[in-house]
Amino acid sequence: MPETIKDVVPQIAVGRLPLYLRALRRIQQQGCDVIASHELGKHLGIGSAQIRKDLSYFGGFGKQGTGYSVAILIEQLSAVLAVDQTWSVAVIGAGNIGTAISKYEGFTQRGFHICWVFDSHPDVIGTRMGDIVVQSTEVLERTLCRHKIQIVMIAVPAGEAQQIADRVIACGVCAILNYAPIHLHVPDYVKVQYIDPIVHLQSMTYYL
């Protein structure tokens, strides 16, 4: 798919595709082969018109009235999202959150292989996180460049996150999952997604 078509699809629609894929995998596990968009919608709490529209950006994967083949839709969505391959990922920060990330098996199971963990604290460098030995951030650039890493997860304190982002971007990283509770300033071509559970909690306490 040429770059131009990719950019035409609204980011909010792209953000829903992983939810579709996740639900479809679950539906497949339950033994279902074909699913109508309104049934898929029920699983997701999303309207069927929205689902059909989102999928139509990529040419549409089903015919009106017959439903989608679950297996084919999984295959095609996986290809669209480029998750029909394994991605090597580096984690920066081996504190509380970085440790949890590094030990979480769900990443590997869903195609994201954490291959490197970096930290700047002498006490942590050289310790093991499962199979991985924590490396010094002094060798961050060398490792990222050598292995052409495109995706990193940042789990350093807020005050260090921007500097780490700048460093990894200079090495060619273009996708950052940021667990540090701070907004990152990055060039337009770099994608950043944020995970801060407190922000989610606070947007609910508003209603309590």
By CB under 8 A, is residue 86 in contact with a second copy?
no
Rg over alpha carbons for the chain, rounded to the nearest Å, is 19
Q: Which two three-digit tokens encode residue 81? A: 């999202």
Residue selected from 37, 39, 45, 170 as contacting a second copy according to rule CB under 8 A: 45
By CB under 8 A, is residue 112 in contact with a second copy?
yes
By CB under 8 A, is residue 132 in contact with a second copy?
no
Residue selected from 28, 50, 107, 120 as contacting a second copy according to rule CB under 8 A: 107
Place of tokens 């989102």: 54
Q: Which two three-digit tokens encode residue 137? A: 């951030």
Residue selected from 14, 34, 115, 132 as contacting a second copy according to rule CB under 8 A: 14
Q: How far is the CB of 176 from a second copy (least distance, A)?
A: 8
Residue selected from 88, 106, 139, 156 as contacting a second copy according to rule CB under 8 A: 106
By CB under 8 A, is residue 73 in contact with a second copy?
no
Helix extents (H) in 45-196: 48-56, 70-80, 96-103, 106-109, 140-146, 158-170
CA 134 – CA 137 distance, rounded (Å): 9
Nearer to a second copy by Cβ, of 48 and 150: the residue is: 150
By CB under 8 A, is residue 195 in contact with a second copy?
yes
Residue selected from 44, 115, 120, 167 as contacting a second copy according to rule CB under 8 A: 44
Q: Which two three-digit tokens encode residue 62? A: 């089903």
Nearer to a second copy by Cβ, of 43 and 167: the residue is: 43
3-class DSSP state of 9: coil
Closest to 100 in 3D by CA, of 197, 168, 22, 17: 197
Place of tokens 């990529």: 58
CA 139 – CA 59 distance, rounded (Å): 44
The residues that touch a second copy, with contacts defined as CB under 8 A, are 6, 11, 14-15, 17-19, 21-23, 26, 43-45, 80-83, 87, 89, 96-97, 99-101, 103-107, 110, 112, 150-151, 153, 158, 174-175, 177, 181-183, 185, 191, 193-208
